[in-house]
Amino acid sequence: MQLRLRSTSDIALSDLGQLGRELQPDIDVVVESSQIHLRSADPPSWVSFIADAPWWVQTMGLYASVYVAELFKEAAKTTWKERVNLVSATGRGVNHLTNFATTLVKFGLSRPRSTRLQLALPIPHDYFGVQFEVLGREEDLVAAEIAMFVHHVPGIQALLEQDEVRLRITGMVVVQLLESGSAKVTWMNKDSLEFEVTVLPLR
């Protein structure tokens, strides 16, 4: 299993190649040479880090579980973002997840702020799959975002593989983290062209 990097054409393949090398040997990376060409006055810029659900769980799942447990062990009335800097060294550690976060932050800071970094699942389709935008710019916050996404991956997969959901979806599926740690999953209904939303609670 591999992590694939897909991007818009404004991002040099050589930069993505360097990004891939920085993720190795922890993560086996393939850079897709076929890029997305968008024509508009202000075209979007993004890199998607795409892998199947089993890859996310097997590569990051153990570290994510420890991190999320640390993040939520205190039942204080604060959001998960406000608790990020309270996570102990045990929760952070030095591992695949934190190394991934460090590399994403370094790459993100080398790009304009308009460039989005997205963690992705190729479901229900490879090109129109699940997209989760990494919003943080600091390593601790990015590590927490990755951990939370990975924590929700099994639930997202189970939801989108239900026939009554899968057959209604058109376009991409957007995942956002709520302050509670729940995951908001949004897609467009192909018949009504209206957005549908499901909230997956933090397990």
pTM of structure = 0.91
Contact 80, 72 (CB under 8 A): yes
Order of strands across the sheet with 169-177?
29-31, 3-7, 45-50, 115-121, 130-134, 169-177, 183-189, 195-200
Reported as a single tens digit per residue, the pLDDT across 50-86 is 999 999 999 999 999 988 988 887 656 678 787 787 6
pLDDT at 39 over 90: no
Residues composing the chain: 203
pLDDT at 186 over 90: yes
